[in-house]
Amino acid sequence: MTDTTLDNHAHQPSGLARWLFSTNHKEIGTLYLIFSLAMFLIGGAMALVIRAELFAPGLHLVNPEFFNQMTTMHALVMIFGAVMPAFVGLANWMVPLMIGAPDMALPRMNNWSFWIMPFAFTLLLATLFMPSGGPASGWTLYPPLSLQGGNSLAFVILAIHLMGISSIMGAINIIATILNMRAPGMTLLRMPMFVWTWLITAFLLIAVMPVLAGAVTMLLTDRFFGTSFFNAAGGGDPVLYQHIFWFFGHPEVYIMILPAFGIVSEIIPTFSRKKLFGYTSMVYATASIAFLSFIVWAHHMFTVGMPLGAALFFMYATMVIAVPTGIKIFNWVSTMWQGSMTFETPMLFALGFVVLFTIGGLSGVMLAIVPADFQYHDTYFVVAHFHYVLVTGAVFAIMASVYYWLPKWTGNMYNETLGKIHFWWSTFWVNVLFFPQHYLGLAGMPRRIPDYAIQFTEFNVISSIGGFAFGIGQLLFVYIVWQCARGGEKATAQVWDGARGLEWTVPSPAPLHTFDTPPDVNEPSLAAHTRGV
């Protein structure tokens, strides 16, 4: 060993050890993204079980117990396994590259944050094979129903604790990185929007994941240690759980959408060849949405019966969210306006996001109206609403970001024709899948039912066809990513001619170690890649 090897970061173990022990933000980012893709496929398979059973009235494939396990697990896997880890993976890869940092601030904790996840999901998914089956009370785990299940509840709660620990550590890491490791000259208001949205998201995570941990711990003690937090017979209150859960749950919704806002705010300017319109108002809008997310939780539970004053407060506060969200949408449209647009796959997904997320946002305004919500609540109208914001919102943004940064990650261009086919296929079928669910809900079909009255048949058939076509289409996505990782047309460092940001100043593929010496953001040569002061 010579002195030089001590500084030689390029040395790394190979094979399994490389991934197990990695403290490199790019490798950990890749791990997160692969994990997320695997969970997306597992959660998607569960969704197809649901759609297959709902293809015709009558019970055909699964019994109601298993159906309820599928709706519960589909949500838990998609939320905690697919969407959240995908965003953490993107943050791992891109935040250091975007702010000119050599790595995350806390690389060993970063490794731990990731490696908790496979164990958490092994615990969670294993419950499906236990005698009492997996959780079947919906992902919200409302007591007293959730307390009726078997001992597998303990595994689910432990898994949620592990995911929470992972998320909190990830969030601390992201905040520490952004606040301490920005390149000289990169003031907060010169940061890319993706970095801003993640900074705010990370604070939300730290604020609410412990609340979820508290709620499920009370479930655990109610179930196994004889407490009565939520047991009316013992002086507890089942509605208390819902208040605590949704105090976590609503910010959680924004945890899953704010980074998507950030991604779209990167992609639309690139392909419009124009600066992001209203950067400062975007930052403030994001912060206001985050603030409001803490004072609207009870809109998830208007039907539990609450005082008039409370219902009015939560209705007004919820409606107010439409204002900053509207600002964001108007800013994206203004960014496109008089731009010089091209429509590569990332841009197509970003535009698909803006249009379809808007549909989800507008049905959200409808759901805020308390008297009308007494009709919409717990119907397929709600199912349609949150799938528009989560699938065509969060998932479309993740797809957009993968196409956008894949050349930077792999050094190869993906197959543009296949990418476009993937976009149009997904966009068409996702609407066939979810739009009819609005009609189903208005017509009176409750959610979380394994079987339905005859008059709901047509729209369920349409929705199921859409579901299978959309689901199969995602295998194309897997193929495109795999193909791109293996080879293809070499990507330049710039990749997209309109792209701005420090990540485009490093070669493609990005070497394992970047920005060993921090770039000076005020350097004239970097002017094209950074926001002006």
Judge whether 516 counts as a catalytic residue: no
Closest by Cα among 134, 159, 162, 166 to 46: 134
Active-site residue, from 243, 273, 420, 447: 447
Active-site residue, from 53, 222, 252, 266: 252
Positions 220 through 259 that interact with another protein (CB under 8 A): 232-233, 236-239
Closest by Cα among 166, 146, 172, 301 to 239: 301
Active-site residue, from 51, 223, 328, 385: 328
| Contact stretch for another protein (CB under 8 A) within 7-15, 110-118, 420-428, 479-487 | 420-428
Following CA atoms 352, 356, 361, 365 in sequence, which dihedral angle do they give, to the nearest 10 degrees? 150
Closer Cβ to another protein, 38 or 365, answer by number: 365
Q: Residue 150, interface with another protein (CB under 8 A)? A: no
Q: Residue 418, interface with another protein (CB under 8 A)? A: no
Nearest approach in angstroms of CB 304 to another protein is 5
The residue within the footprint of another protein, chosen from 154, 435, 461, 476 (CB under 8 A), is: 435
> Which residue pairs from 226-230 have beta carbons closer than 8 angstroms and sit at least 24 positions apart in sequence?
230/143, 230/144, 230/147
Nearest approach in angstroms of CB 437 to another protein is 11
| Contact stretch for another protein (CB under 8 A) within 163-171, 175-183, 376-384, 478-486 | 376-384
| Contact stretch for another protein (CB under 8 A) within 20-28, 29-37, 142-150, 514-522 | 142-150
Q: Residue 366, interface with another protein (CB under 8 A)? A: yes
The site map against another protein for 49-88 (x = CB under 8 A) is --------xxxx--xxx--x--------------------
Judge whether 250 counts as a catalytic residue: yes
Query: Which helix (H) or strand (E) element contains residue 158?
Result: helix 152-180
Judge whether 103 counts as a catalytic residue: yes
Contact 278, 327 (CB under 8 A): yes
Q: Residue 533, interface with another protein (CB under 8 A)? A: no
Closer Cβ to another protein, 369 or 493, answer by number: 369
Judge whether 161 counts as a catalytic residue: no
The residue within the footprint of another protein, chosen from 322, 461, 465, 506 (CB under 8 A), is: 322
CA 287 – CA 197 distance, rounded (Å):
8
CA 501 – CA 513 distance, rounded (Å):
17
Q: Can you give the length of the chain in residues?
A: 533
SS (H, E, C) 72-122: HHHHHHHHHHHHHHHHHHHHHHHHHHHHCCCCCCCHHHHHHHHHHHHHHHH
Judge whether 299 counts as a catalytic residue: yes
Q: Residue 339, interface with another protein (CB under 8 A)? A: yes
Judge whether 328 counts as a catalytic residue: yes
The residue within the footprint of another protein, chosen from 293, 392, 427, 463 (CB under 8 A), is: 427
Contact 43, 474 (CB under 8 A): no
Nearest approach in angstroms of CB 181 to another protein is 27
Amino acid at 97: L
How many residues make contact with another protein (CB under 8 A)? Answer: 98
CA 329 – CA 137 distance, rounded (Å):
36
Residue recorded with tokens 């013992």: 234
Judge whether 300 counts as a catalytic residue: yes
Q: Residue 329, interface with another protein (CB under 8 A)? A: yes
The residue within the footprint of another protein, chosen from 28, 49, 207, 315 (CB under 8 A), is: 315
| Contact stretch for another protein (CB under 8 A) within 117-125, 171-179, 246-254, 429-437 | 429-437
| Contact stretch for another protein (CB under 8 A) within 25-33, 84-92, 267-275, 488-496 | 267-275
The residue within the footprint of another protein, chosen from 453, 472, 475, 478 (CB under 8 A), is: 453
The residue within the footprint of another protein, chosen from 41, 52, 311, 526 (CB under 8 A), is: 311
Judge whether 254 counts as a catalytic residue: yes
Judge whether 334 counts as a catalytic residue: no
Residue recorded with tokens 């009709």: 375
The DSSP call for residue 135 is -
Q: Residue 131, interface with another protein (CB under 8 A)? A: no
CA 114 – CA 116 distance, rounded (Å):
5
Q: Residue 295, interface with another protein (CB under 8 A)? A: no
Nearest approach in angstroms of CB 446 to another protein is 5
Spell 412-444 as b/e; 16+ CB within 10 A means b: bbbbeebbeebbebbbebbbbbbbbbbbbbeee
Following CA atoms 382, 387, 393, 398 in sequence, which dihedral angle do they give, to the nearest 10 degrees? 150
Q: Residue 179, interface with another protein (CB under 8 A)? A: no
Contact 30, 38 (CB under 8 A): no
Contact 259, 202 (CB under 8 A): no
The residue within the footprint of another protein, chosen from 102, 214, 326, 488 (CB under 8 A), is: 326
The residue within the footprint of another protein, chosen from 109, 126, 165, 442 (CB under 8 A), is: 442
SS (H, E, C) 170-199: HHHHHHHHHHHCCCCCCCHHHCCHHHHHHH
Active-site residue, from 22, 152, 265, 508: 265
Residue recorded with tokens 């998914």: 125
Give me the helix-helix angle, 193-224 and 238-255, nearest 10°.
Answer: 160
Q: Residue 313, interface with another protein (CB under 8 A)? A: no
Q: Residue 214, interface with another protein (CB under 8 A)? A: no
Residue recorded with tokens 């998932």: 395
The residue within the footprint of another protein, chosen from 223, 377, 385, 387 (CB under 8 A), is: 377
The DSSP call for residue 307 is -
Catalytic residues, by residue number, are 74, 103, 139, 166-167, 250, 252, 254, 265, 299-300, 325, 328, 447
